[in-house]
Structure 1
Amino acid sequence: MKHPIAYLLTILLFSLSPAYGEENYILKEEVHDLYFENHGRVEAIQRANLSAETAGVIEYLGVNISETFKKGDVLLKISSVLQNAKVKEIKHTVVSNQLDVNEKKRRYLRIKNLRKQNLATKEDLTQRETAYTRAKQTLAHSKEQLVQMNEIFSYTKVTAPFNGVVEQRHIRLSEKVSIGQELFSIYNKNKMRVVVAVPESILKKIKKHQKVLVEVERETYEIDFENIVIFPTSYNYSYTFRLIIPRKLSSSFHDGNFVSVKFKIGEEKALYLDNKYIHRKHEVTMVYLKKDEEIITQYIRLGKKENEKRKILSGLVSGDCVVVNAK
């Protein structure tokens, strides 16, 4: 004979188990956010096209396409043999001109003292002064040339103007480049935005609810409304939204990508059903509906997907009881 307590537990468990062994769910209306959805294009706020500012042969490439870099990193080096030789030549000229200035100054001061003692003519003084002035002008000109040549020499090393990533590389190693030739197209990955157009008719609703979701690579991110800039376009019925992407999220976005952008415009009451209750049979969508202790097949029409649930457009009403299967 069974123990009385065990017998009572068996009866209790049997009474709590659903009929037919199915899992029941009674539908009821749920309140969900209502969104306007459109596709937006990701673009970099800070970008640059780097060009060669001196001619030569590429002797070093520090980065390749899609590689990241930091501000000040050397991206490329151009052969500097000619530029280096020119710098040395001008430096030698500067030293020579400096010696000439010193000599002309010494002669000028000597004649000046002699003139005070009436031991030199005025013409001699004027001649020495003119020679000294010309020597100083020549020295100043050679120093300017040295500064310019040093700047040209610095162009043989191309450094990154900001932290970023290489979008395009227009040259190859050992290739000869000329002044003005494009080298790299780069952009700052930490300064991105999404550009999306919305109709004017929902602008007030968007400003009222101030909730924006961006979906990229199956991940959804909420953008703070303070990071959104609204611009009227050339059409009076459309506005352009520029969504500034926070730095902490920028690693998930890439320049040129298209992403899904959702703007909350209100709320709605509707029936939603978990995917596990929904079945496909003979190319139609159906559920198992429980009516009067019987399981029947009910065809339904589905709407949008939200998380693991689907919106029910027709076929079911609030209060209906559905089961996972008919077994």
Structure 2
Amino acid sequence: MSRLFASLSLFCAFCTVTSVPLFAAEPQFDTVTLAYTTYAQPRVFDAKVEATKAATVSAQTSGRIININHDVNDLVPHGSALLEITNKEQGAELAGAEAELARAEAVNNEAQAQFIRYKELFPKGAISKGAMDEATAEAKTSTQAVSAAKAQLIKAKENLNYTIVSAPFSGRMTQRFVEQGETISYGQALFSGYDNEHLRAVFQIPQQDLVTLQQLDKVNILLANGQMISATDINPFNFADPQTHSHTVRVNFTYHNNTDLQVGQWVKVIAEQTSKPSLFVPLSALHQVGDLNSVYRKSADKIVLNQVRLGFIDKQKQQIEVLSGLMPGDEVILDAAQYLIRSRAAKAKE
């Protein structure tokens, strides 16, 4: 009676036909007994690829551009020279700073030697207190002058180095704001680019998925070329968008093959979630005619065609979820196609 009521409710809810007997049971056909199991149900989100590091390189000195070594869309290694600026003025500043340091060191050597001599003579009364104080002050002043000259030398060297603009990290050039021969000034934008290895997938999730994403240890990122990447750096935002009430999620990952994946492309982020207990049948047990999905179920000494409503497909295990039409303990034919062929052949011989 419970089987009859289940069939009638299935007919009313999903407009299906009830199971009807077809052929006598044949023991040589393998069957599988159904039982509740849990599975990892994937949730798939559309995500956009972004760069975790992007920068606009600006001029740190002034001058005229004499050479541009890279252009838009070039892959640039870290530290590579992007462009060169005239360096005569900076070179002259460096030479002056070196000369000033040499002079300061010479004055300091003389002041320190005089301070040592006065320090030895002062206890003997050969040097007055005023002369000793003056020697002490000159020794300290000359030491500070050397430090200041060294600082100016460092600054001059840096200004000279700034005439060669280098890439702050490896990546791809996206914009060039200057041309060869232009005179640039301090702070003027020169190039823009991004790191093409350290990326992130950004997508939106509804409120009900926030807790699940926060508990996940990893997600899979499916690229357009079919490659799958596992990522463990998952960062769901703890605040929602006031307009859509959705949460942004960032998944950071590293990808070294920079010819297959670019910033701005779309990828699939697959988050596996544990489902409630469900019934599964092998894909080979499924009999499909148009939109009708059925299995051959063993009922006493008969085999009946039992219509089912299907859900999630587990391609790895080659099985499919049954939402309605079957119950735990039911036995279904493992290979529906083989059963149908052999049963029709046996019926034709009768």
Is the shorter-chain TM-score for this pair beyond 0.5, marking a shared fold? Answer: yes
Q: Cα distance, 1:59 vs. partner?
A: 2.0
Tell me the equivalent position of 2:227: 221
Task: Say if 1:119 and 1:36 are closer, same or farther in 2 by CA, change over 3 A.
Answer: closer
2:63 maps to 56
CA distance in 2, matches of 1:114, 1:237: 84
Unaligned runs of 5+ in 2: 1-39, 291-335, 338-350
Q: 1:114 to 1:36 in 2, by over 3 A?
A: closer
Shift of 1:48: 1.7
- Displacement of 1:89 in angstroms is 0.6
Q: CA deviation at 1:92?
A: 0.7
Instruction: Verify the 8 A CA contact 2:176 2:191 in the aligned structure 1.
Output: yes
Deviations 1:291-316 (A, max 9, x none): xxxxxxxxxxxxxxxxxxxxxxxxxx
1:195 to 202, 206, 222: 202
Matches of 2:289 and 2:179, distance apart in 1: 57
Correspondence 1:269-280 to 2 at 5 A: none
SS of the equivalent of 1:220 reads coil
SS of alignment partner, residue 82 of structure 2: strand
The answer to whether residue 83 in structure 2 is matched with residue 80 in structure 1 is no
Determine which of 124, 139, 144 is the counterpart of 2:131: 124
Deviation at 1:198, TM superposition (A): 3.1
Q: Which blocks of at least 5 consecutive residues in structure 1 are unaligned?
A: 1-32, 274-317, 320-327
Distance 2:174 2:153 in 1: 36
- Looking at structure 1, the residues matched to 142 and 256 of structure 2 have their Cα atoms a distance apart, in angstroms, of 61
CA displacement at 1:189 relative to structure 2? 0.8
- Asked if structure 2 preserves the Cα contact closer than 8 Å seen for 1:38 and 1:196, the reply is yes
Give, in angstroms, the shift of residue 253 of structure 1.
1.7
Once the two structures are superposed, residues 27-75 of structure 1 have per-residue CA deviations (whole angstroms, 9 ceiling, x without a partner) of: xxxxxx9987664322111222211111111222221111112122222
Q: State TM-score, norm by structure 1.
A: 0.61
Q: In 2, distance between residues paired with 1:171 and 1:272?
A: 66
Could you tell me whether the CA contact under 8 Å between 2:171 and 2:194 is conserved in 1? yes
1: CA distance, partners of 2:261 / 2:246: 25
Matched to 1:168, the amino acid is Q
- 1:163 lines up with 2:173 in the alignment: no
Q: Structure 2 vs 1, CA of residues 83 and 270 (structure 1 numbering), >3 Å: closer, same or farther?
A: farther
Secondary structure in structure 2 of the residue aligned to 1:224: strand
> Is the aligned partner of 1:230 residue 2:236?
yes
Q: In 2, Cα distance between the equivalents of 1:228 and 1:109?
A: 66
Q: Quick one: distance in 2 between partners of 1:264 and 1:243?
A: 15
Q: Cα 1:214–1:250, aligned 2, differ >3 Å: closer, same or farther?
A: farther
Out of 114-123 and 59-68, give the one that drifted further: 114-123
Superposed displacement of residue 138, structure 1 = 2.1
Identity of matched residues, %: 23
Equivalent AA in structure 2 for residue 241 of structure 1: V
Q: Give the Cα–Cα distance (whole angstroms) in 2 for the partners of residues 163 and 239 of structure 1.
A: 31
The residue number in structure 2 matching 1:109 is 116
Q: Secondary structure at the match of 2:196?
A: coil
Q: 1:112 to 1:176 in 2, by over 3 A?
A: same
Describe the shift of the 1:227–1:145 C-alpha distance in structure 2 as closer, same or farther (beyond 3 A): closer
